A and B are shown apart, each in its own frame.
Chain A
Amino acid sequence: MAKKWGQYVRKWMTQKMDLPQDVMMDLPRITMIGQVHIYIENHRGLLAFSDGEVRLLIKGGQLLVKGKAFVIKTILPEEILLEGKIDQVLYISD
């Protein structure tokens, strides 16, 4: 009950006060540069990593990036910069 209340308040505040959603709602911010780079902030950890697939834990689910020749350029506790040829970005909800 309390959690739902909190979420409700946050949603209301972002709408009314015009604050960026990724800050208030703890959502990932994804920046893509063409097919080449994908920059994901606010992730919760690496789940799987291979040449053609990267699975990241995010709030309320997983993010699946599919493509070719993936290289993690940088990885920090909450950020990841991925290089390669990106084909798909998928949200998988719990």
Chain B
Amino acid sequence: MKNQWIQTFSGTVKVKLTGKGIERFLNHLTRNGVSIWNVKKHGSEAVTFYVNLQDVKKLRIPARESQCKIRFLERAGGPFFLRELWTNSGFLIGACLFLGLIMLLSNMVWGIEIKGASPATEHQIRKELDKMGISVGKLQFSIDNVESIQKELTDKIGALTWIGVELKGTTYHFQAVEKSEPKKAEAVGPRHLVAKRKAAIVKIFVEKGEPVVKVNEYVLPGQLLVSGVYGNEDNLKAVAASGEILGETWYSTKVELPLKSTFQVFNGNEKRKYAIKIAGKALPVWGFGKPEFSEFEAEMNEQNVKFFKWELPLKVEKTTFREREQVTRIYSREEAVESAKELARKDIKNYLPENAIIKGEKILHQSIENDKVKLITHFTIIEDIAVGQPIIQGD
């Protein structure tokens, strides 16, 4: 007997034959090479049997010649099964869409909770998060990892000492610790104001105390500027002297600048690649080929795909290639001197309090040796030179 598996694949049809001369018809079919199986008699003038789907056409001509009628009862096997699948494919598509939707929703941000921050700071944090692209409804793939969020928030918000960032499921939890800045010591004890460095007095503004020096006077560091003790000899009063004594001070800086310098910069060209990583194997999804940059830096970022609260063994891998360029900067002598001056100005500002003014600058020494510009600049600065010095009682 033949193996019927092949027939099952190609499809079979159950045929009902009614009429006279059934036997003759069957003989005719077998002689024409139509394979027939499971022939059953139903009553005196009806018979059912199975034929291959591709043999169905061969039934027509003998059926017309004989006095029999043919009816097809059942269809089974390959092509019919496929057709059934196709008609029911809606369910399959629905199931796939459902899973996809769940997966998409599982990887979204659904909540941002901030704890331990005052309303003002919380508002600031939320604004900062919005700028970073973290808000409800965003996909987690587009968001940096937790560590970099933490770093950025601590950098940008001054009021924060520390912020703990945690991603629990679809909610970001922020635990903020605010700086409790010490209040300015309002009640200071009796004190004098003295000069902190040598200067020529430009302006005196005293709130409390008795000025001892005059404008245009030259003072040395430690010299008394405003006395905290006033009154006549019988009735001396000690107060906390306060005020602003602006003095002209002098600084000199030394700057060295090479005429030729090379450095590496990113020139803004970048290429992004996305891949899905399954069990350690990466399957590229978007962005193919090698970056056409001669020098570049690659940054890789992996993100787990979640399904509800479980993490799937599936990762979305984002690789960013940034082109790097070597830039050689060559200054002419004039340019070099100019930028050395600029550098000196920046340098001096680091030393000075914010409200200091650069009154004048003077180049004391300028030389170009070994492809380097050496510059010694003298600055005249106007700044507050007063510092408090407590009055020690009892002398």
Which residues of A does B touch, CB under 8 Å?
Answer: 45-51, 70-77, 81
Contact = CB atoms under 8 A, between A and B. Distances in A.
A47 B2 CA distance: 24
B35 A70 contact: no
Nearest to A72: B39
B279 interface: no
Interface string B86-100: 000000000000000
Given A75-B30, A77-B31, A49 B23 contact: yes
Given A50-B41, A71-B38, A72-B37, 10 more contacts: A49-B23, A49-B39, A50-B44, A51-B41, A70-B41, A72-B36, A75-B30, A75-B37, A76-B35, A77-B30
Nearest to A44: B27
19 contacts: A45-B23, A45-B27, A46-B27, A48-B23, A49-B22, A49-B39, A71-B39, A71-B40, A72-B39, A72-B40, A73-B1, A73-B37, A73-B38, A74-B35, A74-B37, A75-B26, A75-B30, A75-B37, A77-B33
B129 interface: no
Given A73-B1, A77-B31, A46 B23 contact: yes
Contacts of B23: 45-49
Main SS of the interface on chain B?
mixed
A71 B48 CA distance: 10
Nearest to B27: A45
Interface residues of B, number: 19
A3 B243 CA distance: 149
A43 to B, nearest CB: 10
Contacts of B37: 72-75
B376 interface: no
Contacts of B35: 74, 76
Contacts of B47: 49
Contacts of B38: 71-73
A41 to B, nearest CB: 13
Interface in B226-281: none
Contacts of B26: 46, 49, 75
B29 to A, nearest CB: 8
Q: Which 4 A-B pairs have the closest CB atoms?
A: A72-B39, A45-B27, A46-B23, A77-B30
A57 to B, nearest CB: 9
B149 to A, nearest CB: 74
